[in-house]
Structure 1
């Protein structure tokens, strides 16, 4: 496989800083929590990646971010990183149990990040910004192996899918993107200056001798070896820049070497290793004026570390401007080799002539002769050249550190969504780190050859494991798609069939009294049908088995809930939330992803029960409240217990889900005979002493919670402008509920939903009447704007419970202790009249009458009819009348048929006549 120059190498990052945009909004409300970042490192060995991660983490922490480093394997870098931020050692199997939604972005600093990407590709994590840092060429070299592609089908497609799931894939130089070009989907970036080159050069040089490498390459000990390197940007092109430079200076250099009695050998690192390129290069070299045997050629894929060990001079022969400092030049400086470089802008920014290197005029290549004059001494390399090389080495250690750190910070500022509750960090201009954290790592580093080999073996073993996992996944997908005997694992068609079953059961309950209901099925059995394939026969057999009452077995969870007083519906969206859900008689899942139910469960499909949730716009804006609307819609078909509860999947991730003792307490309380109108909740709102309910709501909703809530409340009840419309909420130090984690009597739940439907419709109408209906005043970031109403609806139950006169009780999720909150006898400002059920029912019937009479023709934005049942007394009267008319019409038709039969039909003669 050949690689050619790709536009990715020249692709620059010019993203706008979302942090500056957030600052320009002038957020007047205080932030609740810092922006959280996760950095996955795979292993915690002492290596260049750890140096970079530690330095970047320190910079981000100083700017005000909160970081957590996640690794599979503990190592010597652990205590260094623990002095900077929190470190979490996990197993690959426990990655699914990490609450990824608590982070605002994820940085991956290892190829093992592929396992993390596999999880973040699933709902509800798929919109989390991910930046993947690729430091090694191991995967790129693997992509060049054609045998692997034949043995493992879809290998490249699998890696490309994971690369595409990242927001950006960042490389430290332009060579690595070329190796990985088969995986490029437009999100590759190059940020130069990584300490990888410096670290690798130092470790390799300390474990290899100059003499042994020279002997290996056939160079004499006294020869002056000039290594000619160029840019990765022109990977496969012939080195015409080299030719122009050396054609003008080679004769003078050879004459100088003869005068000083020095042997000179030129080694060119350029192009590829194909026969066509080699022949073209040899022809080009013959025109440069070099003696036979004084020129050698190696491809750009060759290990440059060997060449740098025994090279005496490094000549940079590319004369075209480049976007970043050449990585090969940085490695040469780190090897303490005198460098001869053109005066390109990106080079003169860091290199001073005669101090860190020797410059020549890029427009006049013949000026390179003077550089060689200053380097070559009487015997070999001059003392001045060695002094310059030493200064260059010292400069190279941290020359690009600040630029590299700030580039990564700027990249994060462009991909991060800064939510309303976030404490905005300091901008990139406040970065203080100018050097890499070499000292703690170099103190621990063991610069021995055996250690290097161990690192190489670890990387090889990691790649093999990832390739093996990719192969297993492909095999699993292939077998699942071809093996029709594995029927224990539901497919999408199975879920669709189950949805049809639920719809059928709903219709059957409502129309069971009509005897003609089963007539079409009897007729269908007598119709001749064409022959079907075995797959179609199997599918129809399973479907008919489910439709038959005797074959529709009840789920184990449903059987366990029989006789239970309460069921807690755990709201989730996507496969990524499955590890956070519970099992047992107390819980039942409800998914907001169509067809995304857990296998072998009786989870409820919210989209099937409420069609408005099939629209991504409304599903995103309602969030978990949409699941409550779906349960309330014809609730008797799914819930028949006296108590009902809900819990977000995030409760387990945030460590506020119920313990076993708390579950027992809840069930015992529900089974007691004395029931009050009470709500039990166990995920408290984090309110500090300086904040109250509405200020907290403001901090979660771009500072506009109370304003929008008041406007929606005013619109809902038709209150005039001069009348207060914001229900007062006390600051008495008690808890409020969040995360939709509560239990209340089922009748109270239906009243709450009746109120909520009207409130959501009023809130939605305000947004639709704005100048930009697609915008959202309740969100600061793009993610919050797409989930516009979610954070207000999350705390709406508190307003309802407090002002409707419900008893409010906090259930400690750990101990199970129940304590009453906001005591009824201490509530001095309750707006009971607005939450009176009779009044709300009257409002609900008025809206139903409007919908039934078609008073909003063509208004697709009217949300209220879409969130549940539309019912008022007129509908019941009309249905009763229509049913009565149908009954009379049926009697009349039967009577007419009987009369016609009597008139024209056969009359049996009486017996005996």
Structure 2
């Protein structure tokens, strides 16, 4: 285009060049020459000719380049060959398309998850590392990788069939699976029959259920309606847990446009946060990610395939009869041909439909009727929408091809597609552009037992065998379509051979793309999950039996297929209505506060009266306090002491760490601290006076609680690196720092929130027994613990201390201990320096849940600080350079 513009501009500037030249001649006399008018004419003409020659040459060069990059199907039909070869040899009946500028096939539409692919490739390189800092990394494989499957309900539907099939395959290759659901349903029985445990989560405020999601290596969430679970996993300490969110519904995508236009930005941003939390958002086709582009955070992924279409065809087949035909304007004995195509609109669609219609013309010469408008053969073109001018174009194409009036009809693709397909006798796929997967509309047509005719595109040829379960024609040879349609339709009826092909197609489509779906999820989990060193890596999905990955588990749902169930789209719409209503009520409360009209003088009188009452109360309290100071005071009641201490505490307001809980703990022999990080741990913390929370971060602390703010006591914890690497040891160091200002009990204890989440925390009976043993000095200076290593889920083989420590630290526990201890004590020799751990049948404590005297705790912290300092000096620099740690297999 640039060369063309230059070529057009140069001649227009010719006079300017001449004038500029004359001015130059007047300024420089030595350049003046006597030229004849003829010679000047030849000079300028020669200049123009050279410019035009260069322009044309550049133009032809770009034309050649453009032709080279055209799609392979960009040709039009030649009458002699029946193929599409040259735009200059357009048939007369299609010439009007060339005049309208519609003689173009458009470009292919492709979705590629580039960001995810780059992320997977970079992380794959990290995983392939077998050593860090010259130390080998080992995987022990003592337990299976744990997966949590989350559903909004357990109703019988195609999504349950898909996930049951995937779960059976994943369990077969080595995963352990737990199902969670917000509502119960009949699918609970299916999961129980295959041996997968199911838990129903309560969402009410009074009886809410909470899960320690850190028990799982990954979470698979299904449906938009499970948003409440994702909102919980958005909080610390679950924020980094791998989360795969599968979305089958397009309901939110259609509403998102209304959210933006109506100014509901808060609702839109809330959904964006949820989409951004997911590690990967999985869609079953390539249309949905484009519909959800408003929420795209670079984490979209497509795993094509679903049994939904086959399921719907089985359950809805009886709903379609001749009444549907009559409503659509067809007679019961009409033969209807449906021309369908891709879900994407592009410029070349008109041309492709024109070519299909032209190939069908010989069919009408085979049928003799008295009145052409009463032809028993009808053609429906399913494409576009009701608001576009597509119907006008279709009418123009049919008119120019001399179709009988009323034979060709346009149906909007946004309408009832299932009714159109069920009404049709033959379905022709009329899009020549390569798609990334098998077209969904052909899946529906096969489910309705219709003969399909399609171009031999790669993703169609992969699933359709010519003249076995469908018909294929070369996309470069439209004339072949004419031969096929004349074989499918004979004497105005569908041939028996075509009916047999349709029946075979119906059977083959029932398990269509099951293999791609199961392998897709297995391979996605391989890339997403970062398994610890004690977890066994699952087998390759390629090793799975074909029977378990090439078929959906229909037999498990046979008893429920005839049962009625609410459509998933309807449930999704109802759920979104509830979300919008809650958001609307919240916005109204914040933005609209009704203020009654009042008289200003009346407001002043009320204010003056209130102020006088307040001054009188202040004067009265001051007199009472002065009087108390002058008289002897007896011992007050507990309520008086309580109120006095509370007033003093509010006045001091020391980091909001003191409340009624501290007074209740006064006189107790023991205080148990519960370290936590983030709002996700709040449900697992205790509220009784025996316990006190300690927040490892200033963010995410519980409101209206006397929890200890660890970073204010130990500023080192403000550094995310040290907060993460120290974990609960950060709480130990924070408590020990100036401990007299905080902890005044003779004994001190710690209990991890994970102990409560895993239901291994102290019971009320155990609490009382522990306090009684301490008060009676039954065991002297002892350490009590209650979460044992031999029952830890990570140690099913009940390994000894050092073996278990190696298993959860990539095989480098012993060597790290040895190096740190040698650094602490200044030992230079290369021998292994490890303390002997007793193996006399006793066990060890895990999850940092123990109690000991405060004096002994301080000695333990002194040793721990030296050990941590030696460990930090050993790996700090190299860790920050590479981002890796030899105590873990992942970054």
Q: Same fold (TM over 0.5)?
A: yes
**CA 72–768 in structure 1, closer or farther in 2 if over 3 Å, else same:** closer
Structure 2 residue 214 is the aligned partner of structure 1 residue 136: no
Structure 2 residue 842 is the aligned partner of structure 1 residue 764: no
Structure 2 residue 554 is the aligned partner of structure 1 residue 438: yes
Equivalent pair of 2:137/2:889 in contact (CA under 8 Å): no
Q: How many residues align?
A: 713
Matching residue of 1:54 = 164
Task: Please report the TM-score for the alignment, with normalisation by the length of structure 1.
Answer: 0.73
Equivalent pair of 2:152/2:181 in contact (CA under 8 Å): yes
CA RMSD of aligned residues (A): 3.2
Query: Which piece of structure 1 moves more, 768-777 or 103-112?
Result: 768-777
Query: Which piece of structure 1 moves more, 388-397 or 376-385?
Result: 376-385
How far apart are the structure 2 equivalents of 1:77 and 1:724? 56
Equivalent pair of 1:71/1:90 in contact (CA under 8 Å): yes
Equivalent pair of 2:108/2:435 in contact (CA under 8 Å): no
The Cα offsets for residues 785-805 of structure 1, whole Å up to 9 and x where unpaired, read as: 4xxxxxxxxxxxxxxxxxxxx
Equivalent pair of 1:235/1:272 in contact (CA under 8 Å): no
Measured after TM superposition, the shift of residue 122 of structure 1 is: 0.7
Matching residue of 1:667 = 771
Alignment equivalent of 2:334, drawn from 223, 247, 252: 223
Measured after TM superposition, the shift of residue 18 of structure 1 is: 7.2
Q: Secondary structure at the match of 1:43?
A: coil
Structure 2 residue 198 is the aligned partner of structure 1 residue 87: yes
Equivalent pair of 2:815/2:832 in contact (CA under 8 Å): no
Measured after TM superposition, the shift of residue 722 of structure 1 is: 4.3
**CA 345–6 in structure 1, closer or farther in 2 if over 3 Å, else same:** closer
Structure with larger Rg = 2
Measured after TM superposition, the shift of residue 455 of structure 1 is: 6.0
Q: Secondary structure at the match of 2:493?
A: coil
Alignment equivalent of 1:163, drawn from 275, 280, 287: 275
Matching residue of 1:306 = 419
Q: Secondary structure at the match of 1:296?
A: strand
Equivalent pair of 1:19/1:424 in contact (CA under 8 Å): no
How far apart are the structure 1 equivalents of 2:397 and 2:266? 41
Structure 2 residue 349 is the aligned partner of structure 1 residue 239: yes
Alignment equivalent of 2:288, drawn from 156, 162, 176: 176
Within a 5 Å distance, the mapping from 1:298-377 to structure 2 comes to 298-377=411-490
Task: Please report the TM-score for the alignment, with normalisation by the length of structure 2.
Answer: 0.75
**CA 600–289 in structure 1, closer or farther in 2 if over 3 Å, else same:** farther
Matching residue of 2:622 = none
Measured after TM superposition, the shift of residue 667 of structure 1 is: 1.5
The Cα offsets for residues 387-436 of structure 1, whole Å up to 9 and x where unpaired, read as: 00011111111121111110111111111111112122112212332100
Matching residue of 1:635 = 739
Measured after TM superposition, the shift of residue 610 of structure 1 is: 1.3
Within a 5 Å distance, the mapping from 1:701-712 to structure 2 comes to 701-712=809-820
Structure 2 residue 763 is the aligned partner of structure 1 residue 655: no
Within a 5 Å distance, the mapping from 1:262-301 to structure 2 comes to 263-280=376-393, 282-283=395-396, 286-287=399-400, 289-301=402-414
How far apart are the structure 2 equivalents of 1:139 and 1:717? 63
Alignment equivalent of 1:385, drawn from 498, 502, 519: 498
How far apart are the structure 2 equivalents of 1:244 and 1:551? 77
Structure 2 residue 216 is the aligned partner of structure 1 residue 112: no
Equivalent pair of 1:8/1:189 in contact (CA under 8 Å): no
The Cα offsets for residues 254-307 of structure 1, whole Å up to 9 and x where unpaired, read as: 334458996222222223332455545554555555433223333333231111
**CA 475–604 in structure 1, closer or farther in 2 if over 3 Å, else same:** farther
How far apart are the structure 2 equivalents of 1:49 and 1:103? 22
Measured after TM superposition, the shift of residue 63 of structure 1 is: 0.8
How far apart are the structure 1 equivalents of 2:422 and 2:728? 62
Alignment equivalent of 1:30, drawn from 140, 151, 160: 140
Measured after TM superposition, the shift of residue 231 of structure 1 is: 1.7
How far apart are the structure 2 equivalents of 1:73 and 1:729? 49
The Cα offsets for residues 558-591 of structure 1, whole Å up to 9 and x where unpaired, read as: 1111111111110111011100000111110011
**CA 73–283 in structure 1, closer or farther in 2 if over 3 Å, else same:** same
Q: Secondary structure at the match of 1:70?
A: strand
Equivalent pair of 2:143/2:796 in contact (CA under 8 Å): no
Measured after TM superposition, the shift of residue 479 of structure 1 is: 8.6
Within a 5 Å distance, the mapping from 1:871-886 to structure 2 comes to none
Q: Secondary structure at the match of 1:571?
A: strand
How far apart are the structure 2 equivalents of 1:408 and 1:669? 53
Q: Secondary structure at the match of 2:693?
A: strand
Equivalent pair of 1:42/1:73 in contact (CA under 8 Å): yes
**CA 275–713 in structure 1, closer or farther in 2 if over 3 Å, else same:** same
Structure 2 residue 177 is the aligned partner of structure 1 residue 98: no
Q: Secondary structure at the match of 1:56?
A: helix
The Cα offsets for residues 108-147 of structure 1, whole Å up to 9 and x where unpaired, read as: 122221011110111111111111111223333444557x
Measured after TM superposition, the shift of residue 237 of structure 1 is: 4.8
The Cα offsets for residues 346-398 of structure 1, whole Å up to 9 and x where unpaired, read as: 11112110001010101222221122012102241111111000111111111
Query: Which piece of structure 1 moves more, 708-717 or 74-83?
Result: 74-83
**CA 96–75 in structure 1, closer or farther in 2 if over 3 Å, else same:** closer
Measured after TM superposition, the shift of residue 630 of structure 1 is: 1.2
| Greater RCO (CA < 8 Å, at least 6 residues apart) | 2
Structure 2 residue 325 is the aligned partner of structure 1 residue 214: yes
**CA 285–463 in structure 1, closer or farther in 2 if over 3 Å, else same:** farther
Alignment equivalent of 1:44, drawn from 154, 166, 169: 154
Q: Secondary structure at the match of 2:152?
A: strand
Equivalent pair of 2:142/2:796 in contact (CA under 8 Å): no
Alignment equivalent of 1:64, drawn from 160, 171, 174: 174
Measured after TM superposition, the shift of residue 54 of structure 1 is: 0.7
Alignment equivalent of 2:297, drawn from 155, 166, 185: 185
**CA 548–627 in structure 1, closer or farther in 2 if over 3 Å, else same:** closer
Equivalent pair of 1:569/1:590 in contact (CA under 8 Å): yes
How far apart are the structure 1 equivalents of 2:351 and 2:580? 40
The Cα offsets for residues 724-760 of structure 1, whole Å up to 9 and x where unpaired, read as: 4111112222120111111111111111111111111
**CA 23–203 in structure 1, closer or farther in 2 if over 3 Å, else same:** farther
Q: Where does the alignment leave 5 or more consecutive residues of structure 2 unmatched?
A: 1-105, 131-135, 596-646
Q: Secondary structure at the match of 2:224?
A: coil
How far apart are the structure 2 equivalents of 1:195 and 1:550? 61
Query: Which piece of structure 1 moves more, 103-112 or 26-35?
Result: 26-35
**CA 565–311 in structure 1, closer or farther in 2 if over 3 Å, else same:** same
**CA 187–295 in structure 1, closer or farther in 2 if over 3 Å, else same:** farther
How far apart are the structure 1 equivalents of 2:290 and 2:410? 20
The Cα offsets for residues 741-787 of structure 1, whole Å up to 9 and x where unpaired, read as: 111111111111111111111111111354864444444343xx4xx
Within a 5 Å distance, the mapping from 1:680-691 to structure 2 comes to 680-686=784-790, 687=795, 691=799
The Cα offsets for residues 3-45 of structure 1, whole Å up to 9 and x where unpaired, read as: x999784547744597998688497553232111111122212
Matching residue of 2:184 = 74
**CA 725–552 in structure 1, closer or farther in 2 if over 3 Å, else same:** closer
Measured after TM superposition, the shift of residue 682 of structure 1 is: 0.9
